Amino acid sequence: MPRHRLNLLILAVVIAGGMGLVWYSTRPKPVKVLVKQVERGIVEQTIANTRAGTVKACRRAKLSPSLGGQIAILAVKEGDRVKAGALLLELWNKDLKAQVALNESEANAAKSHAEATCLRAEVARREADRLVRLSKTGAISIESVDKAVTSAESSQADCESARASTNVSRARVGVARAQLERTRLVAPFDGVVAEINGELNEYVTPSPPGIPTPPAVDLIDNTCFYVAAPIDEVDAPRIEVGKPARISLDAFGDQRFPGRVRRIAPYVLDIEKQARTVEVEVEFTRPEDIRRLLAGYSADVEVILDARRDTLRIPTEAVLEDNRVLVFLPDEELLEERGIKTGMSNWDYTEVRSGLKPDDLVVISLDRKGVEDGAYARLDPEAPR
């Protein structure tokens, strides 16, 4: 080869290498992306609450005595488990106990008096019957018979009056005992004492009408819990009692609990004029989940309306506006925007009906700077596969 041609070839190679080096050094720096493979699985159509719901006990009683007084007995402390009918607290009631004792004594005296009066009435009746028989033989005057019969009837009336007085005395005992019971606070059901507002010898007063005051004892049944959550009024008509649901609690991280819709409120809450909601109650379906719950936990619910099984799906976070996704092409190290046709969707997954195939890699780190169509990209070392 002539020497000048060789020099030209060397010069061309050097120029091409220099241009390649300039292009490589000036090309955009690849962005690191997180991706997820398109896969087959289940996709559910769900409805979620608009604001955080709350775990509530099926039975919770905020108890207070029906009258005021000084706490004489405080039989429980916070955290105690109690049985139905157990004494929680008792107000000073010695005067009422004395009144009960007095009324019981009066009732016993009235009973004894009634028994004596009725015995006398029985004697008078038998005497009158005897004189009536004698009058038939002419051995006694009619006047004596009339007096005996009248006396027997009078004695019988006294007996009935004494028995009525006994009933009145018994009723007084019942009234006194009822008044005494008003000073005692007992558990209406088995539960746990959540809170006590009051100490021994403190004075408690009942709530005036329309003015709520803290309860003396807050009792919770910890064997049954449900979640009350607000659902947008637009979504509420699609929910039915008995529909399956999932419950998530902030206190338990990513763990999900199975549930079932147990009640839908028959009215719309308009606390927020621009976001009217319907309260939906979801109960836990596994008894073992309830043991770890506490009333008052914040919770979210997803009511499952329908489900598609063995369908193509991608994470919902990978879907851009107008049903677009960014696909990572590993051979070219490029990001390519594609339009897709979607089906069912929830917070976790979206069904893909067309536009993607299994094992395609869709980008889920869409909020990173430089993640756009045509960008050079590399997998982040922490990228899930």
Contact 351, 345 (CB under 8 A): yes
Q: What integer is the mean pLDDT of 138-161?
A: 83
Query: At residue 196, what is the residue type?
Result: I
Asked if pLDDT for residue 150 goes beyond 60, the answer is: yes
Average pLDDT over residues 179-207: 90
Please check whether residue 295 is in contact with residue 56, taking contact to mean a CB–CB distance below 8 angstroms. yes
What integer pLDDT is reported at residue 12 of this predicted model? Answer: 65
According to DSSP H, which parts of 49-141 are helical? Answer: 94-135
Q: What is residue 132's predicted lDDT score, i.e. its pLDDT?
A: 80
Query: How high is the pLDDT of residue 155?
Result: 85
Tens digit of each residue's pLDDT (9 = 90 or more) over 53-99: 999 999 999 998 888 889 999 999 999 999 999 999 999 999 999 99
How does residue 25 score in pLDDT terms, banded at 50, 70 and 90? low
Question: Residues 104-122: pLDDT tens digits?
Answer: 999 999 999 989 989 988 8
Considering only residues 207 and 363, tell me which one the structure prediction assigns the higher pLDDT: 363
- At CB < 8 A and 24+ separation, what contacts does 289-295 make? 289/257, 290/222, 290/223, 290/224, 290/225, 292/252, 293/55, 293/222, 293/225, 293/249, 294/55, 294/251, 295/55, 295/56, 295/57, 295/60, 295/194, 295/220, 295/222, 295/225
Q: How many residues does the chain have?
A: 385
